Structure 1
Amino acid sequence: MKGVMIQGTASDVGKSLIVTALCRMFANDGIRVVPFKSQNMSNNSYVTKDGKEIGRAQGIQAEAAKIEATVWMNPILLKPRSNQDSEIVYLGKSLKTLSGRGYRDTFYEKGLDVIKKSLEQLSSEYELVVIEGAGSPVEINLKDRELVNMKVAELADVPVVLVADIDRGGVFASIIGTLELLEPEERQRVAGVIINKFRGDIRLFEDGIHWLEKKTDIPVLGVLPYVENHMIDGEDSLSLNNQFSSRQKGNLDIAVIQLPFISNYSDLEPFLYEEDVSIRWVKQASEFGNPDAVIIPGTKSTMNDLKAITDTKLDFLIQNHIENGGYVVGICGGYQILGEEIIDEAGSDTGIVNNSVKGLGCIPGRTIFYEEKETVRTAGVYHENTGLTANGKLEGYEIHLGKTVLHQQGCSFLSLENGKEEGYFGRNGQIIGTYLHHLFHNDQWRNHWLNMIRNSKGLNRKEPIYISNYKDKRYDEIASQMKEHLNFELLNDIINNWCSK
């Protein structure tokens, strides 16, 4: 198998973005390239064309590689449901929920087997595989049964490029420390180093490059710049905070409830490109303020996150916000939280059969959790009773266990292509609930919703910003930007001339 593996000295050093850029670089050179991550831990997921669930990063990387995403690109997805337990999504389907120890004790051989099969499948279809690791390859307490770093590089027999984040500081210690903790045979597999997220004058770092190369006898393949607003979806809580923290203040104040088990926060990224919109995260009642709109995003544990909302007294603030004319949107788990009642009939959310709790009571409906998860790409138009004029269809995807039944007729949000009604549309759009992830990636809808808020504040309406047109162009821009700072020729030589040492 021809390929390369991108590993990092820590989480959030930029591995996903670098793999995305490399996929586009190789694709632009006419190479049939494919991304791969054996095991992903993230509640940000992606639904493939055939209705299977994989890590969102691999779906985005497939787009950059100009190919359709499949489960072979991410055969194992771990979705945290509590501080101890994670749902195991195996080849795109929910398998079971296990504790960290239970997973390590019972799943290792099964994991190795599906990783081997996935690599074989990808190598039969593509010329080159770009593999992404996770966290650090030298987590000593996990190293003997790991399924995502050096073990995968060994199975694929590819060279490793180690990425370090200079923005967080300690870059020399992180690189040297990682190399020192690797086993000799693992250390020999490291064929290059990339310094990521550099700010400033590269000439001031040249001595550092020379020192690293002399100390390690490993070439520094590039010093990549810090990329602001790269428009490539993140996948964990670190990238969440980093991506939204620098957003400038706008005239429209949107508060997003930062749930402990938030999922698919890529739903919110389109707002980063609306100049008059300020997105801010709210964890505590003291942070709520007086927003124009509130968004309750998806969650991997609806009932636990509902409890977090009530424990912090955010429930009263959300209810008062609505009574005072404020806008609110609940997406997936957020939709369920806004309802009157949640019943865990199968114990699939909490592990307690028939456990039930009261919701916020803002939407006239109740949610029942069953055992079978629904994962599907979907599309539809505004329901006729909303009074909204259809301007093209709305597209997105659904990932949820619960099903919500409304107590009122004629208040659905969407009419789906499959003939079903979906979601809730109340008070002329002041309250919306939906299972449609990526709702706000539909540019016309996002513009309509923001214009409703602008009108309520006496602000001028704005024309739509078609960010969906920019995404593919952005892949090319990031690939070009990174290639300018990367010794791409040397990287190609390493890949093409690699043989096990």
Structure 2
Amino acid sequence: MEKLHPIMFAGTGSDVGKSIIAAAFCRIFLQDGYHPAPFKAQNMALNSFATSEGLEIGRAQAVQAEAAGVPCHTDMNPLLLKPQSDHTSQVVLNGRPIGNRSAYEYFRKEGREELRQEVCSAFDRLASRYNPVVMEGAGSISEINLRDTDLVNMPMAIHAKADVILVADIDRGGVFASAYGSVMLLRPEERERVKGILINKFRGDIRLFESGVKMLEELCGIPVVGVVPYYKDIYIEEEDSVALATKSVRAERGKVNVAVILLRHLSNFTDFNVLERDPRVHLFYTNNVEELAKADIILLPGSKSTLDDLYELRRNGVAQAILRAHREGATVMGICGGYQMMGQEVLDPDHVEGDIERLPGLGLLPISTQMMGEKITRQVKFGFNEESLFNEELRMTGYEIHMGTTVPIEGAPASPLNILEDGSTDGYFVDSTCMGTYIHGILDNPQFVDFLLQPFADKLSETPETFDYHRFKEEQYDKLARHVRKHVNMPLIYQILTEKS
């Protein structure tokens, strides 16, 4: 295939849809016979993923890699910031945590060149293996106060010799000002790299914006490569958890009602995407004690700050509501931090997470957890027992990202939920209504979801087939590609990506 220039989707601001547009182009290039891969030099997100090498990257790049049909790798997201408070983040470099930094410390010029060298080297390695590299910027392309320390937008595009497409969100208003201002605030050498503007999230009749397209092209001197309509019927994993609390909490008859506890530091909320799509399930997110009483199953999710969230659950009455619901017949299951909270205690003598050294857990599982400085990140294959582990049809997959070691308390019998491929065990199983695991993505396995829902089979108004989440996701990537391809001038995109600079 012809060698294409790298392409970067940069934004007029945050949440304009860069991640989804990049995922769409990863799938489009794959469909057109190319071998694409995603790249974002620096990402800030609590939602992360473990690569096959046991290293950590942002979930958005893992999704884009999936759309591109390639295994994810830390070179696709060499720098990940995981917020721990309003002012500090854990810094993950090339998949491994290197410490916590305040925003002020992180954005100082001192030490920036070392980070710049790391992200540029990651891009260079990726570009040598894939064609094209589909790059994503961060936030606004024109944060001129951060220009000298920027690692992810125009300095990265210049290093990569990438063609930049500026993504503007028309749904939020001010599209002319945001696009024109973004371009005009760039330095001349940066402006030369911006080859097109993509208008995203358009609502209504696109024909009514034809004059707007011409005006924008005249203002900026850059072609508008497409106007992509807003959609509601395509489901791609989201990077941010902002909209979780808006999901309906009204219990539905004929379905299994599943409540996910809405933690302050909730992480890896994509663990539950499969349940949102399963026709047997009505899923909602809540920390309201009355709403929890409506649930058949309560899921405690992962947390970036287990002790802080556990303290809050005790303070706001949610812990008591969970215990009451369990006594009345609800299943309670914890994943990662949620699993730790379900035990007898969580210990942090070395202050890995903060000032709290010990908190009693919910007492649902006979386990004790101690926070450790070393983070465990790995992909795993597992089964309920040895028979399922060695049966390819029954074997399951997932990944671990956690800090902490969990063991049964003294006198408690060993009762793991899962057996891993290396012979080690995971989680704790009391019975079909009380269990916990460290494995993210466990619900992506149809056989585990069937196991979780089985006690409530009599509630279902019908018995649909087991939901195939992998097939569903592939269908969604193809739908997204069709949607974007229909509304973007792809011949112009390919012309831009093959023209001599």
TM-score if structure 2 supplies the norm length? 0.91
Q: Which residue of structure 2 aligns with residue 296 of structure 1?
A: 300
Q: Which residue of structure 2 aligns with residue 236 of structure 1?
A: 240
**Structure 1 residue 390: deviation in Å?**
11
**Structure 1 residue 474: deviation in Å?**
2.8
Q: Which residue of structure 2 aligns with residue 109 of structure 1?
A: 113
Give the one of 71, 74, 77 matched to 1:71: 74
AA of the residue aligned to 2:131: E
**Structure 1 residue 410: deviation in Å?**
4.2
Give the one of 413, 417, 428 matched to 1:424: 428
Whether the 8 Å CA contact 2:249–2:285 is kept in 1: the answer is no
Q: Which runs of 5+ in 2 are unaligned?
A: none
Q: Which residue of structure 1 aligns with residue 382 of structure 2?
A: 380
Alignment RMSD (CA, Å): 2.6
Q: Which residue of structure 1 aligns with residue 361 of structure 2?
A: 359
**Structure 1 residue 171: deviation in Å?**
2.7
For residues 318 and 308 of structure 2, the distance between their equivalents in structure 1, rounded to whole angstroms, comes to 14
Taking a change above 3 Å as real, the CA distance of residues 452 and 460 of structure 1, as seen in their structure-2 partners, is: farther
Q: Which residue of structure 2 aligns with residue 38 of structure 1?
A: 41
104-113 vs 230-239, greater mean Cα deviation: 230-239
For residues 398 and 305 of structure 1, the distance between their equivalents in structure 2, rounded to whole angstroms, comes to 20
AA of the residue aligned to 1:12: D
Taking a change above 3 Å as real, the CA distance of residues 473 and 175 of structure 1, as seen in their structure-2 partners, is: same
AA of the residue aligned to 1:382: F
Give the one of 155, 162, 167 matched to 1:158: 162
Whether the 8 Å CA contact 1:345–1:370 is kept in 2: the answer is no
**Structure 1 residue 177: deviation in Å?**
3.2
**Structure 1 residue 52: deviation in Å?**
1.1
For residues 60 and 247 of structure 1, the distance between their equivalents in structure 2, rounded to whole angstroms, comes to 30
Whether 1:261 aligns to 2:253 is no
% identical equivalent positions: 40
Taking a change above 3 Å as real, the CA distance of residues 449 and 286 of structure 1, as seen in their structure-2 partners, is: closer
Taking a change above 3 Å as real, the CA distance of residues 287 and 7 of structure 1, as seen in their structure-2 partners, is: farther
**Structure 1 residue 290: deviation in Å?**
2.2
Whether the 8 Å CA contact 1:249–1:276 is kept in 2: the answer is no
Q: Which runs of 5+ in 1 are unaligned?
A: none
For residues 405 and 256 of structure 1, the distance between their equivalents in structure 2, rounded to whole angstroms, comes to 25
**Structure 1 residue 32: deviation in Å?**
2.4
AA of the residue aligned to 1:476: D
SS of equivalent residue, structure 2 residue 171: coil
For residues 321 and 238 of structure 2, the distance between their equivalents in structure 1, rounded to whole angstroms, comes to 29
For residues 241 and 162 of structure 1, the distance between their equivalents in structure 2, rounded to whole angstroms, comes to 31
Whether the 8 Å CA contact 2:302–2:338 is kept in 1: the answer is yes
For residues 154 and 245 of structure 1, the distance between their equivalents in structure 2, rounded to whole angstroms, comes to 45
**Structure 1 residue 287: deviation in Å?**
5.0
Whether 1:59 aligns to 2:62 is yes
Q: Which residue of structure 1 aligns with residue 449 of structure 2?
A: 446
For residues 410 and 206 of structure 1, the distance between their equivalents in structure 2, rounded to whole angstroms, comes to 67
Give the one of 179, 182, 191 matched to 2:183: 179
SS of equivalent residue, structure 2 residue 115: helix
Taking a change above 3 Å as real, the CA distance of residues 239 and 110 of structure 1, as seen in their structure-2 partners, is: farther
TM-score if structure 1 supplies the norm length? 0.91
Taking a change above 3 Å as real, the CA distance of residues 212 and 61 of structure 1, as seen in their structure-2 partners, is: same
AA of the residue aligned to 2:323: Q
**Structure 1 residue 107: deviation in Å?**
4.1
CA shift digits 1:10-65 (9 cap, x unpaired): 22221111111111211222222221100011111121111111111112212222
Whether 1:202 aligns to 2:206 is yes
For residues 404 and 224 of structure 1, the distance between their equivalents in structure 2, rounded to whole angstroms, comes to 48
For residues 333 and 176 of structure 1, the distance between their equivalents in structure 2, rounded to whole angstroms, comes to 45
SS of equivalent residue, structure 1 residue 470: helix
AA of the residue aligned to 1:219: P
Whether 1:281 aligns to 2:273 is no
Whether the 8 Å CA contact 2:446–2:467 is kept in 1: the answer is yes
**Structure 1 residue 276: deviation in Å?**
4.1
For residues 252 and 346 of structure 2, the distance between their equivalents in structure 1, rounded to whole angstroms, comes to 36
SS of equivalent residue, structure 1 residue 96: strand
For residues 55 and 498 of structure 1, the distance between their equivalents in structure 2, rounded to whole angstroms, comes to 33
**Structure 1 residue 460: deviation in Å?**
5.0
AA of the residue aligned to 1:451: Q
Q: Which residue of structure 1 aligns with residue 473 of structure 2?
A: 471
Whether the 8 Å CA contact 2:293–2:321 is kept in 1: the answer is no
**Structure 1 residue 249: deviation in Å?**
5.6
For residues 462 and 367 of structure 2, the distance between their equivalents in structure 1, rounded to whole angstroms, comes to 35
Whether the 8 Å CA contact 1:16–1:57 is kept in 2: the answer is yes
